[in-house]
C-alpha cells in the first residue's frame, strides 16, 4: 500500500505543539456548536427537548392541529355533549389558551372543569383505560402540550443562504484539513479512509439536507444523520491526529 508523502510525526516539536493547540481549539468549537444547537433550536417546535421536529421547524416549518382539537372534531369522545364540545373547540381555536383554561368567571363551563368531568375517567394515570398512561390530561401542562396548534415558519431563504455560505466554506475547509492531516498519520488507511468518507458525506448530507428539507420535511432525518456523521468523524479524526503527533516515532 502506498505511504503518505510525509508524516505528521516527522514535523518539528514547535509545529506539532502549534497543531496540538489548534486541535484543542477546534474541539472546543465543536462543543460550543453542540451547545448552541441545543440552546438555539430546541424550542423551535414549541415543545421542550431537541427532536427531529425542531429541525423540521427550522428548515421546513410545522403546521399541525392541536391533537385535542382534532380528537373533538372527529367526534371523540362519543359521551361528550354538544355544548361542552363546542365550548372546548371555542377555547382551542381562540386566543389565550392557557389563560382561559381555568378562568374562574366561566365556572363549570371553564375548559378545566369540562375536561375534569368528561375526560379524566379515561385520561388519568389511575384510570382503568390504558390511554390514561400514554395520554394523561390531568395537569395543565399535560393539557397544554396537546392544546397548542402549531404554525411555525421555517427560516427564510436569506437566512439559510447566509448560513450555508458560512458553514459550507468554514466546515468544508476544516473537514478537508482534518482529512488531509489524518491521511499523513500512522493509522491504518482503511480507518482514516472510512472516517474521511463519513466526514465528507456527512457534511454534504447535512448542509444539502437543509435545502431538501424545505421541500420535504422528512429530509430532516438526513440533516441529523449527516450532522452526526460529520461531527462524530471529525472528533475521532482530531483524536487520531493528536495521538499521532505525540506517540513515539515509528520507523
Ligand atoms: C371512554 C374513555 C375516554 C374518554 C371519556 C375520553 N377519551 Fe380521549 N381517548 C380514549 C382512547 C381509548 C383514545 C385512543 C384511541 C383514539 O384515539 O380514539 C383516546 C385518544 C384521545 C386523543 C388522541 C391522542 C393522540 O395521540 O392524538 C385525545 C387528544 C383525546 N383522547 C382527548 C380527549 C378529551 C379532550 C376528552 C374529554 C373531552 C377525552 N379524550 C375523553 C379514551 C377516552
Residues 6+ apart with CB under 8 A from 129: 121, 122, 123
The residue whose CA is least distant from atom 8 of ligand 1 is 77
Query: Over 60: is that where the pLDDT of 242 sits?
Result: yes
Report d(CA 236, CA 226) in Å as an integer: 15
68 lines ligand 1 (CB under 6 A): yes
CA dihedral angle for residue 91, residue 92, residue 95, residue 97, rounded to 10 degrees: 90
Mean pLDDT computed over 19-27: 98
Evaluate if residue 33 carries a pLDDT over 70. Answer: yes
Alpha carbon distances (Å) from 10 to 3, 6, 186, 251: 14, 8, 11, 11
- What pLDDT is recorded for position 51? 86
Beta carbon of 127 within 6 Å of any ligand 1 atom: no
User: Is the CB–ligand 1 distance for residue 67 below 6 Å?
Assistant: yes
Retrieve residue 172's grid coordinates: 468544508
The candidate with the shortest Cα–Cα distance to 205, out of 62, 24, 55, is 55
Q: HSE-up of 168 (CA within 13 Å, CB side)? A: 13
Separation of 54 CA from ligand 1 center, angstroms? 26
- CB burial of residue 230 (10 Å; 0-12, 13-18, 19+): buried
* 122, pLDDT greater than 90: yes
Q: What torsion, rounded to 10 degrees, do the Cα atoms 211, 214, 216, 221 define? A: 60
* Each residue's pLDDT tens digit, 231-241: 999 999 999 99
Mean pLDDT of the chain: 93
> For 6-21, what is the mean pLDDT?
95
Is there a contact between 247 and 188 (Cβ–Cβ < 8 Å)? no
Q: Indicate whether 1 pLDDT > 70.
A: no
CA of 132 from ligand 1 middle (Å) equals 9
2 has a pLDDT exceeding 90: no
Q: Which residue has the cell 392541529?
A: 65
Segment among 47-56, 96-105, 213-222, 234-243 with least mean pLDDT: 47-56
Q: pLDDT tens across 41-71, in order?
A: 777 777 777 889 889 999 999 888 999 999 9
pLDDT, residue 4, reads 75
The confidence score (pLDDT) of residue 85 equals 96
27 CB neighbour count, 10 Å cutoff: 15
* Residue 223 predicted with pLDDT over 90: yes
Q: Is the dihedral of CA 113, 117, 122, 127 positive or negative?
A: positive
Amino acid at each position: 500500500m502506498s505511504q503518505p508523502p510525509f508524516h505528521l510525526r516527522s514535523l518539528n516539536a514547535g509545529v506539532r505543539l502549534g497543531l496540538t493547540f489548534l486541535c484543542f481549539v477546534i474541539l472546543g468549537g465543536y462543543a460550543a456548536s453542540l451547545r448552541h444547537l441545543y440552546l438555539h433550536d430546541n424550542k423551535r417546535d414549541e415543545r421542550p427537548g431537541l427532536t427531529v421536529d425542531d429541525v423540521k421547524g427550522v428548515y421546513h416549518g410545522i403546521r399541525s392541529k392541536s391533537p385535542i382539537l382534532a380528537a373533538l372534531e372527529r367526534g371523540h369522545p362519543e359521551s361528550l355533549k354538544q355544548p361542552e364540545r363546542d365550548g372546548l373547540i371555542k377555547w382551542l381555536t381562540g386566543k389565550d389558551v392557557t389563560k382561559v383554561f381555568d378562568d374562574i368567571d366561566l365556572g363549570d363551563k371553564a375548559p378545566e372543569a369540562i375536561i375534569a368531568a368528561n375526560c379524566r375517567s379515561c385520561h388519568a394515570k389511575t384510570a382503568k383505560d390504558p390511554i390514561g398512561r400514554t395520554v394523561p390530561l390531568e395537569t395543565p401542562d399535560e393539557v397544554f402540550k396537546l392544546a397548542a396548534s402549531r404554525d411555525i415558519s421555517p427560516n427564510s431563504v436569506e437566512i439559510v443562504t447566509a448560513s450555508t455560505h458560512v458553514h459550507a466554506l468554514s466546515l468544508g475547509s476544516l473537514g478537508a484539513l482534518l482529512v488531509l492531516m489524518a491521511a499523513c498519520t500512522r493509522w491504518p488507511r482503511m480507518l482514516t479512509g472510512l472516517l474521511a468518507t463519513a466526514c465528507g458525506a456527512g457534511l454534504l448530507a447535512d448542509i444539502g439536507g437543509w435545502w431538501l428539507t424545505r421541500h420535504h420535511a422528512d429530509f430532516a432525518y438526513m440533516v441529523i444523520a449527516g450532522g452526526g456523521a460529520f461531527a462524530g468523524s471529525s472528533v475521532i479524526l482530531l483524536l487520531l491526529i493528536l495521538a499521532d503527533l505525540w506517540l513515539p516515532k515509528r520507523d
